[in-house]
Chain A
Amino acid sequence: MIFGTPTALLLGLIALPVTLLYLLRVRTRRIPVSTDMFWNRVFEERPPRSLWKQFRHLKSWLLQILLLLTLTLAAADPRWNTPADRSGFQVIILDASASMQAEEESGTRFEIARAKAERLVAGLFPGQQLAVLSADRETQILSGFTDHGPALQRVLAAATVTDSPADLHQAVQLASALLQSHSDGRILLFTDSLTAANEQALQEACQNPASAPQSAVNLDVVRCGTSHPNLGLTAFEVRRAITDPLGYEVLLELTNAADIPVTATVQLTLNDVLVDVLSLSLAPDESSSRILRKLSADGGILRAQLTDIDFRPDVKSTFPLQDALQADNEVFAVLAEQPPLKVLLASPGNLFLRQALLAMPRVELHEISSLPQSQEAWAGHDVIVLHQLVPRELPPGNLLVVDPLTDCEFWKLSGLVRQPLIVEQQSGSPLMTNVDLTNVLIPQAGRLQFLQKAQNLILTDTAESLLSLIQQPQHRCVVTPLSLSDSDLPMRTVFPLLISNALQWFSGADALRTAAAVTGSSATRPFPADWSESIDRVTIRSPSGAETTAIVSAGTAISEPAITTGLLRERGVWSIIPHTAARPRGQPADSTPLQIAANLTNQSECDLRFPVESESGTAFLESQPNSRNMPLWLLAVCLATLLLGAEWWLYQRRLIM
């Protein structure tokens, strides 16, 4: 037994004056009696006494001393802890990852961990200091070192579990850094599962001399919960189909983190409209991927949900095990909308080019046979296709120039290239996807001398470019000097592919393949094109409705304007609502909110089984006082109260004086 306040034991010295008062002769009442012969006979067996025999009130003295000792014991705050548990500085790491949401018999794993941490705080010694960290993808310091138990209890009560995976290594390193200046530090990691290798790695991180050169930090892992089977969605991506702009492809992966087979149903909905239902059977520890191809020009929220999860489907006599974790049973994705693409074709007339453009989905084609006189005629189109007709001043916007016959501000024609031999193609460019001009018969092509910086995607043996890309602040221009009438390019399948790649590049098809974010991480999205430039701040709304405000950073010379969220610790669809300085925050914005899906697609969080049944650290917690167990000082106070009552009763019964 040790004492939280050993100096309080000095109160026991009060026993000395108490004893002295019992020994001292007190002024007594003078009572006349008619005769003392009866009293003398009553006290004849106890004649006048020595100093020690002045203890005529021995029972009373013993009760008083016992009462004093129990009160002194209570003031000293006795504990059952062993001296090894009295580390002056301890750091509690609460694993707040998604797997801590797994349901146990007595609550979630996180609630169990929090209850154990509260027991630890309840046994806090005066002078002993605790810090509390919450570990998910990014470690948060919930409380610095303090010895104020109620404050720590409030911090623990306010701690919440997240939907993000955990990075315990980072948390332990941070805890070690906090304990760097303390020689007897201890880290208590409350987590649900930890492999032996990971635990060893964490132990090494604690003993890393670089992080804690002068201290020996002990790490105790307190496991919370029991092993459970779990089936989870560990991957979910959606994108527009490359070949079909109206279609989209869904990548779905399920993982059976159990030692038994499982059957389940996956429901896929788009804007709450059922799209598909899949029935899957997975063997133990099996991961299964599915790619689903669907058609829809509309964008929206795509949701996949696991239902009818049934473990041990072959053993009907036993009660089916429940899926313990709900956080990985539902995933979201944002499917971009495919708006119509307005294309203006300025050409003296080419049936191949016209039909190739008309064959493109989403394309609304407008044709002119001569160059317009005013610049306003170019406006209102997403892409302008110039065939042979090239104005001196190119209109702003996306330009696809085929076989230019005149000079412009970007190039100058300087003759022809005879029998060009293609020696280099930039296949990594999105414009060159599935494009190969090697076998295309090209008798001749115009020689372009670029006046602006151009990226050559196809080069000939004479270093002439057959496909170039020019990007200027007002222009994005793809130009090819190939003649549609002299070459057999229109007869090749590469021709519509080239047209399609150009149109997709112009329409920003990369943005349509934006991947869903992983919970616990931040997400960066380019500033939407339809947002006003006056938007200076945004409101980030979580799936649960919590809102935060962020400032939009302007683009620089080397980067485009972008929006970066904070850590997305909640799974679901986050909304980024734009605001302008002139518009109050409560009023709706003209621009469409940007939506970001965040999913827990993590196989380690999906696995709720305990690799190693180790109980390190739990024995230490067993010695901690429980809120249901009465602390020793309170027991001592109760005993003192009983003694006081006994003393009162004995005095009233005149059994003691």
Chain B
Amino acid sequence: MLFPADFMTRLEYLSLMSRRVFRGQLLAQRRTRETGAGIEFADHREYAAGDDLRYLDWNIYARHGDLLIRRFQEEQDLHVYLLLDCSRSMSFENGSKFDLARQVAAALAYIALADLDCTALFAFSAGITARLPLTRGREQILPIMRFLESLTACGSSTGLTQGVAEFLHLRPRPGLVIMISDLFDPGGIEQPFDLLRFRGFDVHAIQIFHELEARPQLVGDAQLVDLESGSETRITVTEQQLADYHQLFTAHQTAVRNYCRRYGLGCTQSPASSSFDALVMTMMNSSAGDQADSRSIPLPRFPSNSQRT
């Protein structure tokens, strides 16, 4: 059962824990990075034709003769977008990865809804396959859970770039994008995450992997069948090649962490054997240590660069 009977109890507990951790920083009271009609100065930018002259900084112009527009940080509700990977790779080993991904998505959605934020869910593989529009209110958790239960990991290949591109094509308002995936995209993660960053989204990556993906128990002659592409490869695996595989896998994990650290993105890597609440608690506990960060990241403030392996 994807959502057991005590699932709601555990979600409520996580919600309370998130309030204790982030006391006074409730959702909907957080500022977004969106500049607009706020009253708190954010920064300057070059004047362009058509800008409202009311925001022209005349003092700068008087002193230096430069035309700069003052920008203000706008206070508005945080939009949390949960992007869930539904490719076939998530069905590896009876779909344990996909189950954990859906449970984590439900937990994060509940926490967001409990903090009066808007939450939307997008299922993607090579593109958006299903979506749940923005919704608000704690009572919306049940439709979200039903939506998650209806999802299957039967999409095509993992296409992070295509999924993100279609997500952005919907012109969502900037907010927090939580991508839950195994990130096994041959095209890499840089391009889709760059797209999100460039469009002003805060990104948090949750990478879920299976233990057999990290350390496959595979020695000897074998015929590998790619779950996504269906391609078959005859190989003879030795201990040395197993070590090479593990080295490549570790390098991939490290590359994900390094990318997120480099651009201030949140990153959580967890094996599929973990429980969703332990994963979320770990994310919150580790993010509490980053309270002193100067980054203005909207709530929910998920831990960054936390890894549970």
Chain A interface mostly helix, strand, loop or mixed? loop
Q: A42-B244, A42-B245, A655-B239 are in contact. Are A37 and B184 (CB under 8 A)?
A: yes
Chain B interface mostly helix, strand, loop or mixed? mixed
Q: In the complex, what's the smallest C-beta–C-beta distance from B21 to chain A, in angstroms?
A: 33
Q: Which of B184, B229, B238 contacts A655 (CB 8 A)?
A: B238
Q: In the complex, what's the smallest C-beta–C-beta distance from B302 to chain A, in angstroms?
A: 25
B239 and A36 within 8 A (CB): no
Within 8 A of A (CB), among B88-112: 88-90, 92, 97
- Residues of A with C-beta under 8 A to B90: 34
Bound CA span A656–B221, Å: 11
Bound CA span A29–B233, Å: 11
Within 8 A of B (CB), among A161-200: none
Bound CA span A657–B219, Å: 8
B252 and A654 within 8 A (CB): no
- Residues of B with C-beta under 8 A to A31: 218, 222-225
Q: Which of A33, A37, A56 contacts B186 (CB 8 A)?
A: A37
- Residues of A with C-beta under 8 A to B252: 38
Q: When each residue 90-130 of chain A gets 1 if its CB lies under 8 Å from chain B and 0 otherwise, what string results?
A: 00000000000000000000000000000000000000000
Smallest Cβ-Cβ distance to B92: which chain A residue: A34
Within 8 A of A (CB), among B104-137: none
Within 8 A of B (CB), among A319-361: none
A35 and B89 within 8 A (CB): yes
Smallest Cβ-Cβ distance to B240: which chain A residue: A655
A34 and B182 within 8 A (CB): yes
Q: A41-B248, A56-B236 are in contact. Are A28 and B223 (CB under 8 A)?
A: yes
Bound CA span A30–B230, Å: 12
Q: When each residue 240-282 of chain B gets 1 if its CB lies under 8 Å from chain A and 0 otherwise, what string results?
A: 1110110011001000000000000000000000000000000
Bound CA span A38–B213, Å: 10
A34 and B227 within 8 A (CB): yes
B245 and A34 within 8 A (CB): no
Q: When each residue 197-241 of chain B gets 1 if its CB lies under 8 Å from chain A and 0 otherwise, what string results?
A: 000000000000010010010111111111111011111101111
B223 and A30 within 8 A (CB): yes
Q: Is A32 an interface residue (CB 8 A)?
A: yes
Q: Is A653 an interface residue (CB 8 A)?
A: yes
Q: Is A52 an interface residue (CB 8 A)?
A: no
- Residues of A with C-beta under 8 A to B158: 35
B245 and A38 within 8 A (CB): yes
- Residues of B with C-beta under 8 A to A29: 221-223
* Interface size, B (range): 35 or more
- Residues of B with C-beta under 8 A to A452: none
- Residues of B with C-beta under 8 A to A290: none
Q: In the complex, what's the smallest C-beta–C-beta distance from A578 to chain B, in angstroms?
A: 89
Q: In the complex, what's the smallest C-beta–C-beta distance from B108 to chain A, in angstroms?
A: 23
B236 and A34 within 8 A (CB): no
Most buried by B among A35, A38, A56, A654: A35
Q: A26-B221, A57-B236, A657-B221 are in contact. Are A32 and B245 (CB under 8 A)?
A: no
Q: Is A40 an interface residue (CB 8 A)?
A: yes
B225 and A33 within 8 A (CB): yes
Smallest Cβ-Cβ distance to B91: which chain A residue: A34
Most buried by B among A38, A57, A654: A38
Q: In the complex, what's the smallest C-beta–C-beta distance from B269 to chain A, in angstroms?
A: 15
Bound CA span A654–B220, Å: 8
Q: In the complex, what's the smallest C-beta–C-beta distance from A94 to chain B, in angstroms?
A: 62
B92 and A33 within 8 A (CB): yes
Q: When each residue 10-37 of chain A gets 1 if its CB lies under 8 Å from chain B and 0 otherwise, what string results?
A: 0000000000000001101111111111
Bound CA span A56–B213, Å: 24
- Residues of A with C-beta under 8 A to B226: 33, 35-36
B89 and A40 within 8 A (CB): no
Q: When each residue 126-165 of chain A gets 1 if its CB lies under 8 Å from chain B and 0 otherwise, what string results?
A: 0000000000000000000000000000000000000000
A39 and B89 within 8 A (CB): no
- Residues of A with C-beta under 8 A to B221: 26, 28-29, 657
Q: A43-B233, A654-B238, A657-B238 are in contact. Are A36 and B224 (CB under 8 A)?
A: yes
Q: In the complex, what's the smallest C-beta–C-beta distance from A612 to chain B, in angstroms?
A: 69
B248 and A33 within 8 A (CB): no
Bound CA span A42–B219, Å: 14
B225 and A32 within 8 A (CB): yes
- Residues of A with C-beta under 8 A to B235: 39, 43
Q: When each residue 37-73 of chain B gets 1 if its CB lies under 8 Å from chain A and 0 otherwise, what string results?
A: 0000000000000000000000000000000000000
B236 and A657 within 8 A (CB): yes
CB<8 Å pairs between A and B, sample of 18: A28-B223, A30-B222, A31-B222, A31-B223, A31-B224, A33-B224, A34-B88, A34-B89, A35-B158, A35-B226, A37-B186, A39-B235, A42-B241, A42-B245, A42-B248, A654-B219, A656-B238, A657-B236
Binding site for B on A (CB under 8 A): 25-26, 28-43, 56-57, 653-657
Please give 14 more A-B residue pairs, beta carbons under 8 A apart, in addition to A28-B223, A29-B223, A34-B213: A26-B221, A28-B221, A28-B222, A29-B222, A30-B223, A30-B225, A34-B210, A35-B158, A35-B182, A35-B226, A35-B228, A42-B248, A43-B233, A656-B238
What 10 A-B pairs have minimum CB-CB distances, sorted nearest first?
A654-B239, A34-B89, A34-B92, A35-B184, A36-B226, A28-B221, A56-B236, A28-B223, A38-B248, A42-B244
